[in-house]
Amino acid sequence: MDLSALRSIFLCALVLIIGVSCTDITPPPVYNGKVDLSEYPWLKNRRIFIDPGHGGLSEKDRFRHGPGGITEEGVNLTVARILGVMLHGAGCVVELSRNADIHVPLDTRTAMAGEFEPDLFISIHHNGSPRRVDGVQYPAVLFWGTAQVRPLSYQLACLLRDQFEKIMDGDGVVLSDLAIFPESGTRVLRKTKYLCPGILGEGGFFSHETHARHLADREYLVTEAEAYFSAIAEFFRRGIPSAEVLISSPFDDNHLLENAIHQRKPVLTLRLLSGHDSAVIKKGSLRVTLNRLPVTCKKKSPTDFRVHYSGRLPAGYHTLRFSFENTLGQPSMVFRSTFFIIPEKGEYQSMIQKGQSLINSRGGRVRGLRMLMGALSLGCTDPLADKITWHIARGFAMLGMREESDYYYGRLYHFFPESKYRKKVPGRLRTYRFPVDYRGRPVPITHEDKTPPPPETTRI
């Protein structure tokens, strides 16, 4: 048995042990608060994964102890369990990463979330400050990435911050977890970034003398759970936009790669659902790129938008990336769909040569870039990859797309350390900070003849 198989068996066994422990230790709490859980029908069947932060390590980690003997992991768990009962009472399907004071590794938590396939990931924490003598106190909500690449997570973070401010002292803050962990962000949010919207709430400071007394009071913890519930309810009330992509060309089921086609000018259609029966797609909100180049779309029905691009597509991988809003102001996630056009013999070399030639002509730069990016996708480790990357960066620069140009110049400088083209990279990009890219949540791409049209509305 190989190492990966053994690791999978161990992970499943650990999750099972955790699940048994969570069930057997203590009975679930009862919610007796002020919220009428029957007034939120739109929450029915929503799947929510709750992650009570930390656990089982308070004896070793004295920093997480607050005045009066409270521990962060204990408070996190109490709030999480109350919230879980509330959500369950409103019709949600809920799972907790732990239901007792036990240590659950971070990778196990995210594996559990992936298996559960939630609509929302909520990690519950409370903050601590090394400046306890200054009485630091305010609520904070973290999300992974940026507001541009994770708009839904940012939206939920703002809603929770607003609810926190109603019950806590201090102006709340919303910030990317990359502001705290510059290289990667928090592991639980980073590893669920393509799964669903997710946030990490910091319900004030357990290290603050007065707030610690609140956190030791069960009635206050009910109030904090209600703040989470109110933010989640408002978030789902606005609907959760979703999408799929239709393609006119049938897939080659005999090809080794997924979504492989032969057709060079396939019809591409975005099927967008607002997520709410009284909302539609907000006019002007749809943003679409094909291989990083902006493309336009024509509305064919309330849900279907035809992608318009010029010319034939070259061989290689092609990626649609898009996002939009509904008319209730709820953004979608950034979505991604990829298909593969099967190359003909010798096409790779001709794509490189013709692509280089085309980017030097004013009318052919878009076609040339498509060819070069297709070629790069067919041979990203080939000896010519650095040269292709250089010409792609030049092509974007000639189109005035500086952000994309800088991205490829940066890739050339950092990822091809032996390339002769590195010396041509602009000096401002020759830093130790290397470029990364958020790909977007994958959505299915389907041969349109096999896909029935959707209903006019989608209820939440």
Q: Which of these ranges, 122-126, 170-174, 339-343, 408-412, has the smallest mean pLDDT?
A: 170-174
Tell me which residue has tokens 């939920």.
156
Tokens (6 digits) for 50: 């709750």
Instruction: Based on the fold, state whether residues 27 and 89 are members of the same structural domain.
Output: yes
pLDDT tens for 67-111 read: 888 999 999 999 999 999 999 999 999 999 999 999 999 999 999
Question: Residue 458: is its pLDDT beyond 70?
Answer: no
In a domain, 9, yes or no: no
Domain count across the chain: 2
Residues 6+ apart with CB under 8 A from 125: 53, 54, 72, 76, 200, 201, 202, 203
Tokens (6 digits) for 373: 């990016």
> Average pLDDT for residues 318-332, to the nearest whole number?
98
What is the Cα–Cα distance from 38 to 41, expressed in whole angstroms?
7
- What are the Cα distances from residue 79, in Å, to 114, 126, 175, 216, 438? 23, 10, 22, 11, 32
The domain spanning residue 385 has which CATH number? 2.60.40.1220
Q: How many residues does the chain have?
A: 460
Question: Residue 12: is its pLDDT beyond 70?
Answer: no
* Mean pLDDT, rounded, of the chain: 91
In a domain, 398, yes or no: yes
DSSP state of 422: G
Report whether 376 contacts 291 (CB < 8 A): no
In sequence order, which ranges of 43-105 are alpha helices (DSSP H)?
72-89
Instruction: Based on the fold, state whether residues 303 and 346 are members of the same structural domain.
Output: yes
In a domain, 458, yes or no: no
What is the Cα–Cα distance from 423 to 432, expressed in whole angstroms?
15
> Could you list the residue range(s) of the whole structural domain that residue 438 is in?
242-448
Query: What are the φ and ψ backbone dihedral angles of 8, each rounded to 5 degrees?
Result: -65, -40
Which one of 216, 237, 258 terminates a domain?
237
pLDDT tens for 228-282 read: 999 999 999 999 999 999 999 999 999 999 999 999 999 999 999 999 999 999 9
Q: Is the dihedral of CA 29, 33, 36, 42 positive or negative?
A: negative
Instruction: Based on the fold, state whether residues 223 and 277 are members of the same structural domain.
Output: no
Q: What is the arrangement of strands in the sheet containing 198-205, beginning at the earlier edge strand?
A: 93-96, 47-52, 120-127, 198-205, 140-143, 173-176
The domain spanning residue 23 has which CATH number? 3.40.630.40
Q: Which strand (E) or helix (H) includes residue 288?
A: strand 287-290
Instruction: Based on the fold, state whether residues 39 and 80 are members of the same structural domain.
Output: yes
Measured at the alpha carbon of residue 241, what is the angle toward residues 194 and 49, in degrees to the nearest 5?
Answer: 50
Instruction: Based on the fold, state whether residues 387 and 335 are members of the same structural domain.
Output: yes
244-273 burial, b at 16+ Cβ within 10 Å, e below that, comes to bbbbebebeeeeeeebbbeeeebebbbbbb
Residues 6+ apart with CB under 8 A from 353: none
Query: What are the φ and ψ backbone dihedral angles of 31, each rounded to 5 degrees?
Result: -95, 120
In a domain, 2, yes or no: no
> Average pLDDT for residues 17-41, to the nearest whole number?
69
The share of the chain scoring above pLDDT 90, in percent, equals 83
Q: Which strand (E) or helix (H) includes residue 294?
A: strand 293-294
Instruction: Based on the fold, state whether residues 182 and 277 are members of the same structural domain.
Output: no
Tokens (6 digits) for 110: 């995210």
pLDDT band of residue 134 (cuts 50, 70, 90) is confident
